[in-house]
Structure 1
Amino acid sequence: MAPTRLRRLVAAAAITALSLSACSTGPADGGSDAASGAGASADAGAFPVTIDHAFGETTLTEQPERVATVSWVNADVSLALGVVPVGMPTDTYGGNENGSTPWKDARLEELGAAIGTENAPAQYSETDGIAFDDIAATNPDVILAAYSGLSREDYDTLSKIAPVVAYPEVAYGTAWQDSTRMIGDALGLSDDAEQLVTETEQAIAEAAAEYPQLEGTTFIYGNLEPASADGVSIYTANDNRPRFLSELGMVQADVVTENTKDSTEFFIPWSAERADELDSDVFVTWVPDGATRDAISVDPLLKQIPAVESGALVADSDNTLTLSVSAANPLSLPWALDRFLPLLGEAADKA
C-alpha cells in the first residue's frame, strides 16, 4: 500500500544519511553520536538561507548541526528528513510510555536513536509552556517552531539561545506541507523536503482511492460535548484536521465555510441550540470514551445534527489517532491512513 511505500522511502533516506554523516547530536555534553544534524544530502551551498515567518525573518549562515524543536510536528519533520534533534518535547497528549508516538519511535529506531538509548534526543515537558532552560541545555544551532503557538515574548527569549524558525502566519495554523518545506530550507534539505511532500501527498491520494465513497462527501470536523449549551466547536479550513479530510477528496460543509470570518480563525464556537444547522454527510469528533459517543446520540440538541441522526458520526477515543491527524506531518499521516480511513469510509456509507 502507499503508506508502506512511503515508509520505505523514508527508511532509505535514513540509511543513506547514517552511512555518510558524521556530525554529532544528542546531549549537550557531547557524550553520544547519532545521525547527522542535517543529513547526508544537505546542500551546503544553500547557506546562508533566510526564512520569513510571523515575527520577521531568520537567517542561518551555515548548516545547523544541533537541532532543537518545540511544540508538535517539528521534531517529526526533522526525523522524517533524517535529522535527529538534540532535544524535543515529550508527547503528553496521545503519547506512549516513551513520551513519544509509534511513528516517531519507529523513525528514531531506524536512525539509531531510540528513546532510552545513549543516542536518543533529550526530552522536555511543555506542560507549563516552552522549556527554555532545557532547550538551552541542548546547545542548539537552530530551534524549529514552524508549527507552534509561540508568542512574541517566547520567540524573543528563544532567539537568545539560537536562531528560531517560527510559523509563517497563524499560530498552530501551518499546513504540514509548509512546515516540511520551511524545515527543509532551514536544514539545507529543500529537495528532500519537496520529495517528502510529494510522496506523502501521493500516499494520501492512493489510500483515499481505496475508499471512493469519500470523494465529494461533505464533512464537519469539530468537538461535541453532550449536556452543554456551549458544547460545540467547529474547525475551519485553516486547521490541519479539515485540511486532511479535504486531501482525501472530502468537501467541507457550506455551513463552516460561510461562517469562517478570516484566514486566522481555526475554530468556530457554536451554540448547541443551533446543532440542527450543522448539515453535512459526515461529522468527525474526538470523544474521551465510548460512553460519550453514546451520550451524543441521545443528547436532546446534539442528536439533531444530521450526521449524528443518520449514524454517520466518527467519534473515536484514541488520543494517538487524534494526534496523528491534529499534528499532521509526513511521519504521522501514513500511520493514520490505515486506521482513520476505515472509520471515515464506514461513516460515509451511512450518509
Structure 2
Amino acid sequence: MLPADSTDFLIAETLETFPSSLKGGVVAIGNFDGVHRGHRAVLDAALGLGHGTHHPVFAMTFEPHPRTVFNPSRPVFRLTPPVQKTDMLKACGLDGALVLPFNKDFAGMEADAFVQDILIGTLGISHAVTGYDFHFGRARQGTPDYLRAAGASNGFGVTIVQRAEDEGAEVISSTRIRDSLGAGDIAQANALLGYRWFFDAKVQHGDKRGRDLGYPTANLPMAPDSPLLHGIYAVKVKTEDGWHDGVASYGRRPTFDNGAVLFEVHLFDYSGDLYGQTLRVHLISYLRGEAKFESAEALVAQMDLDSAEAKAAIASITPLSGLDLKLLELDR
C-alpha cells in the first residue's frame, strides 16, 4: 500500500477508490518510471490543459512495471519505486495519481473496454495526454491514433506528446538512465532525469568497522537488481532531522570481507543514531571505483581524500531544474 498523503494530493490504487474530486479531469497516462524529462513533457502538457480549463490533473500509472510482469525472471530495476514515483508526481504539481495494478488480465483488456469502461465510465475524463510510444489493450492495439479517434468519437480531447531528446538528439528514456547509473555516469543520468537521482533505504546494523576507522557509516541495502556501479559517491542525505552532506561507498568492501553489497554513507555533520531510520539519498557525483587497499591506514588516507572531493563536488552543485531545487530543498 502507498502511504496516506496530504489532502492536496490524492492517491487511489483501484478504480473503485478513485476520488470523485478528480473525475472529469485531465489524465496523463504512462508508466513514468523515473519521472524523467521526457515524462515531464507529458505531465507539463496535462498541467497546462488543466490550468487552462480549470480541470483537475492526475496521472494514471501502473504497478508493477509491465516488463516485469511479462518477464518475471528479469525484473526491471525501478528508478522510482511506487512511493518515490508518487512523491515525484506530487512534486510536479499534479492533483493526484491513480496507480492501477498491472497483470496479464489487465494487459488482455480490449482497447475499447479500456476507453469505455475506465477512461469514460469510471474516470469521466475531459482530456487524455500520453507519450508518442504509449500503447494499451490486448496485443497493444490501443495506439496513439486509436486513442485520438476514440477521443473524437466520445467527446474527450487527446494530446500525444512527441519524443523528448537530449542535446545529442538521442531520446530520453528510463533505459538510458539505468545504463548511465551502471556506467557510473551520474552526470548524464541526472541530466536526463532533470534532478539528482535518489533512493530510499532503511538503515541496518553492520559490523561498525567504519566507526573504528573514524568514518562511522549508515549501512543501506540496495535492491538486488540495482545496476549502480560499485564505487565512491558524493551524496546529499535526508534524515529525520533534515538534509546532510556526505560521502558513500557502494560495493563489497574488498579491503576487508568482500561481503554482501551495501551502500554505506558517512555524513559529515552528523553524530546521532540513524538505526531504523529510512534515509533518502541523492547522488551528486561519482568519485572513483571500488578498490582494495593494503592496510586500514591506506584506506583511511584515501577516505580523507574522498571526503574532501565529495565536499568540493557538493559545494559546486547548481539545481538542474526547479524540480531538483524542490527535491533537494536547497531553498529551505
Q: Which has the larger radius of gyration?
A: 2
Higher percent of residues as strand: 2
For normalisation by structure 2, the TM-score amounts to: 0.30
Higher relative contact order (CA 8 A, sep 6+): 1
